[in-house]
Structure 1
Amino acid sequence: MKKYLVLFVLLFAGFSNPLSAQDTVVIKEEGAQEDLDREKDVSELSFRQRVHFGGGISGLSFGNPTSIGLAPMVGYQLANNTIVGFGASYQYYSFKDFYGVKYTSNLMGENVFIRHHLPFLTQLIGQGYLIAKAENFHNLSDGNYVNTYSNPVLVGVGLGAKFGLNLNVMYDLNYTSSATSPYGTALVVQVGGFFF
């Protein structure tokens, strides 16, 4: 009996109309002017729509030296794939010298940056971009020993969308030693991005 049931199902399936794929359904948000998948050209955006606010945590290193920083920023979308901007930075930095003497600094600074998304990086690492940043720091610490620091010039790559959380890995072109760099190393990692 089971054989006849299986045979009947197979015959029925063979003579029935072939199943066809369903057409693509496009859902538009209420009030949307056009397809939601298409990114608007920057020339179509108002000035306010081109300005973005964000920030991040930068120069993280723990041990000797220790470096922790906070960096709010403002960016302007210059072109579809290019954002330029400026930001402020606070960096805590401490290190012990060869004799075990600990030095700490509270640094305040400003920076300018440019970030450019490249299609070939997107294909390699997904939502990749190049980043360049120039920074200037002022030592707010007082005491007998106040270290002066180099002004980092950072270049590198980033991973993340134009807006949202990103990871930047940059190299300091002005790095000479951990005693003169506000980051303590030539390789600088920053987590942050534009959120508004």
Structure 2
Amino acid sequence: MISRLPLDRQLESLRVVLSRNDVLTEVLSRAVTLELPGWYVTAGCLFQTVWNVVTGRPPAHGIKDYDLFYFDGGDLSWEAEDTVIKAGRTVFAGLPAEVEIRNEARVHLWYQGKFGVPCPPYDSSEAAIDSFAATTCCLGVRVEADGQWRVYAPHGLSDVFNLVVRPNPVLAPRAVYEAKAARWREQWPELTVLAWPSTSPVPPSRSD
């Protein structure tokens, strides 16, 4: 069982599993050329690739898009982000999937309007990944200029490989978690979805 391997071997297993998704590996390869600060390919395209491989499905089954985060706190304008998004359309042209690019330094400017709760400003892409609705989602991968993979997995990899969806009640509302979990379970009925806790912890301030 992969989740019981030493961490270094889990990371290698993750790389091997993710590499079976040809779209994902192409996104990672092309993303390097954008030279974005603090970038990661993250969220569903990663853990859903693992779910697919573990359950014997095609590696790209059910993946609706590929999220690319970066962090540029020097320019919080929509115009700067849009310039990157347009560059991404050129770089990722021809792929059979949408690549959604977002500057995580700007999330606090629009998050409350979309989700109904305020979001303190992030100080890094990693901080943004930390706040996903499920700990299973808290995973980011990028390829360095020398070809080495860098993996950010603050909650480890056991739940990802064991098909466990665990709530992460630090920012996103319960309704967001439950809606996502229900949608995932329709496509991957093997999932074990854990209930939202009856009392959610108060999110730490970004200065802690």
> TM-score when scaled to structure 2?
0.23
> TM-score when scaled to structure 1?
0.25
Higher Rg = 1
Point out the structure with the larger helix share. 2
Q: Which has the higher contact order (CA 8 A, sep 6+)?
A: 2
